[in-house]
Structure 1
Amino acid sequence: MSYKQAIVARTDIGMGEGKLAAQVAHAALSAYEDADDRTRKAWKGGGQKKIVLQASGEQELFRLADVAEREGLPNAIVRDAGHTQLDPGTVTCLAVGPGPEELVDEVTGDLSLY
């Protein structure tokens, strides 16, 4: 079985490239920590496959997080600390997985690549 992680980042808040990279990293690590040992090992052993996708706004991230939760997938919403470009507490991205690739795609498969 192939494992994957998808990080969904907002396109409506004007994050710079460095800010986007940092937020994606926060999301990836947080969701990884939410996974069970078996899933973490399988994902790491398979090369830590991940993709970054686009979301139109905060509501879309919360909707996707709800779907991921119902599917039993590790997930994490990231809120910015507000030290640089964004206001404190701004929701920036969501990580879905790591988990079985087919299941992650059921949640995020309709989204465009970032």
Structure 2
Amino acid sequence: MPDHRLYNQELLGSREIRFNNRQESIYPNLMRFCLDFKFKVLQLLLSPESELSPPAKVVVMTRADYTGDPDSAITPAFTELEQLERYVCDNQVDILHDYLFGVEDVSGQAG
């Protein structure tokens, strides 16, 4: 999986988005990754890009041992949960491979 860096903005705060009911979830992939594996979906509040704009809210998926570093997200930052759900659905094999087997350093394997 490629490295997913967030914007050059300061992290002001975060909150976890929980998926508690399997039958009523409208985000089945996010729910499954959070309940069956050790992932969290976080909404991050990032500092505004300019003085006139409001703080940016984005959602990312992280490992359950999230340390507060927004650069440790395992998905790109999206403005809507629907976009994150679609990304996780399209990339679930790569996400689970990295989770189960670790991320390999491809730069060290060239040669």
Query: For this structure pair, what is the TM-score category when the shorter chain's length is used for normalisation?
Result: under 0.3
Structure-2-length-normalised TM-score: 0.28
Structure with the largest fraction of strand: 1
Q: Which has the higher contact order (CA 8 A, sep 6+)?
A: 1
Structure-1-length-normalised TM-score: 0.27
Greater Rg over alpha carbons, structure? 2
